[in-house]
Amino acid sequence: MSAKPTHEELLRDITERAKALWGEAKATEMAAALEQTAFNMAEIDRAIPKRDMEPGYYQ
Partner 1 sequence: MPEPYQLSVAEAAGEIRSGSLSPVELAQSLLGRIDALEPSLRAWVTIDREEVLTEAKRREDELGQGGPKGPIHGVPVGLKDIYYTAGMKTACGSRINADFVPDYDATTVSRIKEAGGVILGKAVTTEFAMGDPSHAINPWNPAHTPGGSSSGSSVAVSARMCAAALGSQTGGSTCRPAAYNGIVGLKPTYGRISRYGVVPVSWSLDTVGILVRTVADAAIMLQVMAGHDPQDPGCPDQPVPDYLEAMSRQDGPPRIGLIKEFFYDKSTPEVRSHTDAAVEKLAQAGAIVQEISLPESFASAHSCQRIVSNVEAAAYHEESYRDRADEFGPKARSSIEMGMLIPSVRYVQAQRARRQFRADMMAMVREVDVVLTPGIQAPAPRDLSTTGDAMFQQPWTSSGLPSIVVPSGLSQDGLPLAIQLAGLPWDEGKLLAAAGWCESVLGVSLSPPDFS
Q: Which residues would be at the binding site for partner 1 (CB under 8 A)?
A: 10, 13-14, 17-18, 21-22, 30, 33-34, 36-37, 39-41, 43-49, 53-59
Q: Distance between the two ends of the chain, CA-based, in angstroms?
A: 32
Minimal distance, residue 22 CB to partner 1, in Å: 8
Smallest gap from residue 55 Cβ to partner 1 (A): 3
Q: Which amino acid is at 3?
A: A
3-state secondary structure of 7: helix
CB 14 within 8 A of CB 38: yes
For partner 1, the closer CB: 25 or 53 = 53
